[in-house]
A and B are shown apart, each in its own frame.
Chain A
Amino acid sequence: MNRPIIKEIIESPKEVFRSVIVELGKKNKNVIFVSCDTSLGTGADEFKKTYPDRHIEFGIQEQNAITASAGLALSGKIPYIGAHVPFIICRCVEQIRNDLCVTKANVNIIGRDFGLQFSALGPTHMITEDIGILRTLPNITIIAPADGPEYRAAILTACEIDGPVYIRLSRQPTKRVNNGNYEFKVGKGNILRNGKDITLIATSSMVSRSVEAANLLQHEGISVEVINMHTLKPLDKEIILESSTKTGKVVTVEEHSVINGLGSAVADVLIQDNPIKMKMIGIEDCFVIVGQSYEELLDYYGLTGPKIAQSIKSFLDQFRV
């Protein structure tokens, strides 16, 4: 059964964050927002206006912000830190490891602007390694939502998760992929459409594009099962094994390096429990080029719906006798 594709709804994850953080602040007085001169860009301006005492500004000191947030969390607060991925993740790996993961502090990092999204800012700002860096750390939860409702659910749920949570916040608008009845569960992937020829596992920005690719391939008689893997850690092994056993072939798609991202995580599972052929679509081991637009870069790196469809077809060609 293929679920009906919902009428196209485009949402801004930042706008979702803007309303959800205020809602959370109202529900729980321990929720605070930690800014690294980033509240405006993350969408915490409304929260700052509503709860000025609970908006903590650290200025341009990401490392201090992470460790101070650990201190705040161990004293009963629930910090949401909104900041740019390059600085709040890459710069702060040790702070995240020692001060958040070792202590299991309930600190939620809202990482803005991953992958190709800063289309022209260059290698210091265009990070394709964040999941790879964080995935090896014990006690962290990594969520890369695909659309508005998923962002909403992830931001709300992070509050309840024991230990640090990293949520990848897209600066680019997202296309709705989940239907109204969808229930978000951390660590549980969800099947967006059923198929029998190949399993396509995608995360965050690549989910809607993978659905598009699946639609294109359907016209050519290829039946693609699309899985939205919004939680990278803990990973839903069952859904990978179940679907891959059915289809016998797996493709992963991510706006991330092919090293230690979704593809590697899926490969970790398959190589041990269902060693079948798979293909990883993502960004090869490089510092990305810049361009005029995000879409232009996605196309360059083969991450649009049509390009994903093309890669899948080439992959399937290998199986033709």
Chain B
Amino acid sequence: MDNLTKSDLKLLINKAYNGRVKMLKMMRNGSIHLGGAFSSIDIITVMFNKVLIHDPTNPSWDRRDRFILSAGHKGIALYVTLQDQGYFDENILWTYYRLKSKVPEHPDEKSLPGIEFPTGSLGHGLSAGSGMALAAKLDKKEYRVFVLLGDGECSEGTIWEAAMASAHYKLDNLIAILDRNGLQVNGRTEDIMNTSVLENKFREFGWTTCAINGHDYNEIWSRLNNVPIEVGKPSCIIADTIKSKGITFAENDFQTHHCHWDEKKINKAISSVIENQVMELKKIE
């Protein structure tokens, strides 16, 4: 398996952890969907920096890869990444929860460049992505469509309609990345509605699947840069992640799904993120 260079790893760690700090600062304005945003930010960071073919100066470029955040409640992680990529100015982030803000908790494709589809109601993104992938096939275009799903989201029936149709149309330009953090609003996904075993389910629907560690930049990068896993089939990359990853005291706590902390707790969380960032950087030395 290919590895990222040390400087690439350093860059990605810094971007993903700085993004976490920005999200916590945005929490000063109002609630954020912390748990899922923090479980997926490493994947989103690797994607926008090292995987997607895109141009922040030309967001409607016809040949761009499409990225759809199907689990739209993780929108804040997309915002900090798009802003870091130069899609829009940082000031926009600080309008969070303000009148006429362009960064609602759930992304709206009309409000900012870089957002391909409005999401927030779960179970829509894979269908939308499959339509875009199908259009690419019809027009013989090369772009790929990446859709980030959540494991709780896979309770929605439309995910499986889309899974079935995408395999039927052999959409190997469609790649689902499944942020499997194992938790949802009211507790453990396996207790609320067991979506396991997702690998088997997607495989049975005609996809190729593989599992990765969703916080290991090398694994994310090498897997996502080798798609489709199998020609003629859509790919599902199941990323095992930790809810609220990066804030030690909040990790794996389902109650961090959607939260609004006071200043003291936010500052404590920021310190924890920075400590973890330093630790991650040390690991690569």
Residues of A at the B interface (CB closer than 8 Å) are 32, 53-54, 56, 58-59, 61, 63-64, 66-77, 94-95, 98-99, 102-103
Judged by DSSP, the binding face of A is: helix
The 0/1 profile, CB within 8 Å of A marked 1, for residues 122-140 of chain B is: 0010011111111110110
Whether the pair A98, B127 counts as a contact (CB closer than 8 A) is no
* Nearest CB of B to A28, in Å: 14
Hey, which chain A residues are within 8 Å of B134, CB to CB?
56, 68, 71-72
* Nearest CB of A to B114, in Å: 14
* Nearest CB of B to A235, in Å: 25
Hey, which chain B residues are within 8 Å of A76, CB to CB?
135, 139
Q: Which of B85-93, B157-165, B226-234, B262-270 contacts A (4 or more CB under 8 A)?
A: B157-165
Whether the pair B128, A68 counts as a contact (CB closer than 8 A) is yes
Chain B: interface residue total (CB-CB under 8 A): 27
Whether the pair A67, B164 counts as a contact (CB closer than 8 A) is no
Is B108 an interface residue when CB atoms closer than 8 A count as contact? Answer: yes
Add 20 more A-B contacts to A64-B165, A71-B128 (CB < 8 A).
A58-B161, A61-B164, A63-B161, A64-B161, A67-B127, A67-B158, A68-B128, A71-B129, A72-B132, A74-B132, A75-B139, A76-B139, A77-B135, A77-B138, A94-B121, A99-B128, A102-B110, A102-B118, A103-B109, A103-B118
* Nearest CB of B to A116, in Å: 30
Hey, which chain B residues are within 8 Å of A74, CB to CB?
116-117, 128, 131-132
Q: Can you list 23 contacts pairing A with B, beta carbon distance less than 8 Å?
A: A53-B138, A61-B165, A63-B158, A64-B161, A67-B127, A68-B128, A68-B130, A70-B127, A71-B133, A71-B135, A72-B131, A72-B135, A73-B131, A74-B128, A74-B131, A74-B132, A75-B131, A76-B135, A77-B135, A98-B118, A98-B120, A99-B118, A103-B118
Whether the pair B131, A98 counts as a contact (CB closer than 8 A) is no
The 0/1 profile, CB within 8 Å of A marked 1, for residues 261-281 of chain B is: 000000000000000000000
Distance, CA A63 to CA B156, complexed state (A)? 11
Hey, which chain B residues are within 8 Å of A67, CB to CB?
124, 127-128, 131, 158, 162
Hey, which chain A residues are within 8 Å of B133, CB to CB?
71
Give the one of B120, B157, B158 with max A CB within 10 A: B158
Distance, CA A99 to CA B120, complexed state (A)? 11
Distance, CA A99 to CA B122, complexed state (A)? 12
Distance, CA A217 to CA B128, complexed state (A)? 52
Whether the pair B127, A68 counts as a contact (CB closer than 8 A) is yes
Q: Write the chain B residue with the least CB distance to A66.
A: B127
Hey, which chain B residues are within 8 Å of A98, CB to CB?
118, 120-121, 124
Q: Write the chain B residue with the least CB distance to A53.
A: B138
Q: Write the chain B residue with the least CB distance to A95.
A: B124
* Nearest CB of B to A224, in Å: 45
Whether the pair B162, A64 counts as a contact (CB closer than 8 A) is yes
Closest 4 CB pairs of A and B: A71-B131, A75-B135, A67-B127, A64-B161
Whether the pair B118, A54 counts as a contact (CB closer than 8 A) is no
